[in-house]
A and B are shown apart, each in its own frame.
Chain A
């Protein structure tokens, strides 16, 4: 079964340092999502890509977070500088569908970030 690959699985970083996460979606999936899941809460969308374009980044803290999907395949989410409140699980998901249609989402295993 095809999977969404994420790395690293765990990351510990010091406050004010830069950190980056990588996601490789299922081959052929046009849409890629980054979600953040704070302990005790449900995942919240940070950014959505359709191919290489950002469709929704309304919840992305743009002063410190950035995301790119340059060739419309894999994606990188960066935080600079990291803050204590950024400690969370960062989930990547991909979907075959494009905007306006609905298909199933496949989630990766996530990157658990701890900021100390």
Chain B
């Protein structure tokens, strides 16, 4: 069965600090990978996704993620965070070419950026 692990449950950073949020998945086949963000009081929004090709994926708002197949990882990065990045971040995976498009989510990382 597929599973997703996000090891950082709470992260507190100062503005301009660099961010890296860990995500590891468990699945033996080919996967599609996603990072979603949920700002306070808002719905889940897609930050970026990886289907195939260049393992370094660039998303919105200066975020990027790198797919490392050998490590089953898809870590999210941002070189300089802003106060407005305060939100909860979810990593998700689904089986590429599977019968369903079911997303398996991690437990989320709550990021607080201090001005």
Contact = CB atoms under 8 A, between A and B. Distances in A.
Interface of A: 31, 33, 35, 40-45, 48, 55-56, 91, 93, 95, 97, 99-105, 107-110
Residue of B42, B43, B105 contacting most chain A CB atoms (<10 Å): B43
Interface string B6-20: 000000000000000
Nearest 10 CB-CB pairings of A with B: A42-B105, A107-B44, A109-B43, A56-B100, A107-B43, A43-B105, A45-B102, A42-B107, A102-B32, A42-B106
Contacts, number: 61
A73 to B, nearest CB: 18
A82 to B, nearest CB: 23
A115 B36 CA distance: 27
A104 B100 contact: no
Interface in B27-44: 32, 36, 42-44
Contacts of A45: 102-103
Nearest to B32: A102
Contacts of B99: 55, 99-100
B101 A48 contact: yes
Given A55-B99, A100-B97, 15 more contacts: A40-B108, A42-B4, A42-B90, A43-B44, A48-B100, A91-B44, A99-B100, A99-B101, A102-B32, A102-B101, A103-B101, A105-B101, A105-B103, A107-B45, A109-B43
Nearest to A42: B105
B51 interface: yes
A38 to B, nearest CB: 10
A104 B102 contact: no
B51 A102 contact: yes
Contacts of B44: 43, 91, 93, 107
A105 B100 CA distance: 13
16 contacts: A33-B102, A42-B4, A42-B105, A42-B106, A43-B103, A45-B103, A48-B102, A99-B99, A102-B32, A102-B96, A103-B101, A105-B101, A105-B103, A107-B36, A107-B44, A108-B43
